[in-house]
Chain A
Amino acid sequence: MTEEERQGILKRIGGSVKEFLYGMAGHDMTRYALKTRGSMEHLFILITMGDLLGVPILPPYYSLRLLPYVVPQISTWKRRMLRERDLTDALA
């Protein structure tokens, strides 16, 4: 193995490590962004549909208008709301 070949391999390994690390960090950030959005989604439903849990909300006319869009989330949201201790955790 010549010196050049060895350097070429090291370079390739270095590049892979770099990409790997970058991928890790980027992936984490993506997950973080999606998780935050997910938490906000629940916060949002709480604000607009809160009366499903007994939290009085105004104005009902407009929450009904949004209802069709959140139908699939209603059951997971209710479960999460009952489990979550502190709402602000979700936003942190």
Chain B
Amino acid sequence: MSLARIFEEYPERRYIMYGGKGGLGKTTFSAATAYWLAKQGYRVLVFSVDPQASLTDIFEQDIFGKGPVEIMPNLFAQEIDADRHIQEYQEEIRAKIREMYGFEEVPEEIESYIQAAAAEPAMEESAIFDKVVDIIVGGEYDYYIYDLVPLGHALYYLSMASVYDEWIEKITTLREEMQEYAQVAAILERKDETEEDQILAELQDIRYRINTSSSILTDNEKTAFFFVIIPEEMALVDTQKAATKFAEFDVPLIGYIVNRVLPAELADEDIPPYLENRIGMQKEYLAKIDKLFGDEVLARVPEFERDITGLDMIARMAETMFGGEGT
């Protein structure tokens, strides 16, 4: 089955993820897919959480930390600046504390906690996680294309959803139980109403958001995950390992796209042995890939004569991947 047909036959799959080892072409494929869909009139957001994101490079436009930036009609790109997001968030919390209690300044003990919490490595991860939840729950676009971080890290992010899911579930349950005790006391004291528990309200909101996003990302009908591979030993071994792990987290794996395939026609020309060897090696691995993944190989994308940057090259890539600009 071709890549274009997957999109045409499953129009409900509006969350698209490209995963794979670093440097194999995740960003390129993300950008090209976004381009192809936008050309068909869909409103598309392609986003990345990688602090070393390459969307800025591929679109040749600085978009880091600038929110969704319109690259061309219908095509928006966003790179999340986690540090800035955390700083803004800290300030939000401070402002809330000052406002709630009428403080001039946040008490020292609390302030040092806010600073310490932001310095933890887990802070950046959970902030990024929440930002992705924000984007996914937002629902302003027809398609969301998630340019994932390299394999190991991506697994970590995806597994966070299920860990947080459990965490929030337990805490919210505890808080709900507390609310029950408060209600019992209120009834015994013959009060008509229990004070609204604001913490419980916050928790329920967080739970709703985490549940929603993690259920979208593991939903076979809404999400499509594609692995990017190249015809080389290392990439193959790593991808196979990762595929098993991804399956454990219920990631809806749809198929594989082979990148950097040297054009086979080259072999007929007068080429140096170096290139001849490489073509021979690739041929071997391509056969192996076909044997391993069979129908799940959705496209073979050739090595281009130059790197893919700028809309013209992205358009060429989209044409190679999907065959024409669609209808």
Cβ of B122 and Cβ of A33 under 8 Å apart? no
What are the residues of chain A within 8 A of B107 when measuring CB–CB? 71
Within 8 A of A (CB), among B60-106: 89-90, 93, 96-97, 100-101
Cβ of B178 and Cβ of A58 under 8 Å apart? no
Bound-state CA distance A44–B198 (Å) is 14
Q: Mark A11-41, 1 if CB is under 8 A from B, else 0.
A: 0000000000000001101100110110011
- Known A71-B100, A72-B101; contact A44-B178, beta-carbon cutoff 8 A: yes
Cβ of A29 and Cβ of B188 under 8 Å apart? yes
- Known A51-B117, A59-B126, A59-B167; contact A66-B184, beta-carbon cutoff 8 A: no
Contact pick for B206, options A62, A67, A71, CB 8 Å: A62
Cβ of B93 and Cβ of A65 under 8 Å apart? yes
If over half of A's interface residues share one DSSP class (helix, strand or loop), that class is named, otherwise mixed; here it is helix
What are the residues of chain A within 8 A of B271 when measuring CB–CB? none
- Known A33-B188, A37-B178, A41-B178; contact A68-B122, beta-carbon cutoff 8 A: no
What are the residues of chain A within 8 A of B127 when measuring CB–CB? 61
Q: Mark A43-59, 1 if CB is under 8 A from B, else 0.
A: 11001110110000011
Cβ of A61 and Cβ of B89 under 8 Å apart? yes
Instruction: List the count of A-B residue pairs having beta carbons below 8 Å apart.
Output: 104
Bound-state CA distance A66–B197 (Å) is 12
- Known A62-B126, A67-B114; contact A43-B199, beta-carbon cutoff 8 A: no
- Known A51-B117, A61-B129; contact A70-B199, beta-carbon cutoff 8 A: yes
Cβ of B198 and Cβ of A33 under 8 Å apart? no
What are the residues of chain B within 8 A of A65 when measuring CB–CB? 93, 202, 206
Cβ of B178 and Cβ of A64 under 8 Å apart? no
Within 8 A of A (CB), among B162-189: 163-164, 167-168, 171, 174-175, 177-178, 181-182, 184-185, 188-189
Bound-state CA distance A37–B175 (Å) is 10
Q: With an 8 A cutoff between CB atoms, is B307 at the interface?
A: no
Cβ of A69 and Cβ of B167 under 8 Å apart? no
Q: With an 8 A cutoff between CB atoms, is B123 at the interface?
A: yes
Contact pick for A71, options B97, B175, B188, CB 8 Å: B97
Cβ of A40 and Cβ of B130 under 8 Å apart? no
Cβ of B130 and Cβ of A37 under 8 Å apart? no
What are the residues of chain A within 8 A of B101 when measuring CB–CB? 71-72
Contact pick for B188, options A26, A43, A66, CB 8 Å: A26
What are the residues of chain B within 8 A of A70 when measuring CB–CB? 199
Cβ of B117 and Cβ of A59 under 8 Å apart? no
Bound-state CA distance A71–B293 (Å) is 55
Bound-state CA distance A47–B174 (Å) is 10
Cβ of A48 and Cβ of B185 under 8 Å apart? no
Contact pick for B182, options A29, A37, A64, CB 8 Å: A37
Contact pick for A69, options B163, B185, B202, CB 8 Å: B202
Q: Mark A67-87, 1 if CB is under 8 A from B, else 0.
A: 111111011000000000000
**CB within 8 Å of A: which residues of B?**
89-90, 93, 96-97, 100-101, 107, 109-110, 113-114, 116-118, 120, 122-123, 125-127, 129-130, 160, 163-164, 167-168, 171, 174-175, 177-178, 181-182, 184-185, 188-189, 198-199, 202-203, 206
Q: Add 14 more A-B contacts to A41-B178, A66-B203 (CB < 8 A).
A: A29-B188, A30-B185, A33-B182, A34-B185, A44-B171, A44-B175, A48-B171, A58-B126, A60-B122, A61-B123, A62-B126, A66-B199, A70-B199, A72-B101
28 A/B residue pairs, CB under 8 Å, sorted by A:
A30-B184, A30-B185, A30-B188, A33-B182, A33-B184, A34-B181, A34-B182, A36-B181, A37-B181, A40-B174, A40-B181, A43-B174, A47-B174, A49-B113, A51-B117, A51-B120, A58-B122, A58-B126, A59-B126, A59-B129, A60-B117, A61-B129, A62-B130, A64-B114, A65-B93, A66-B203, A71-B100, A71-B101
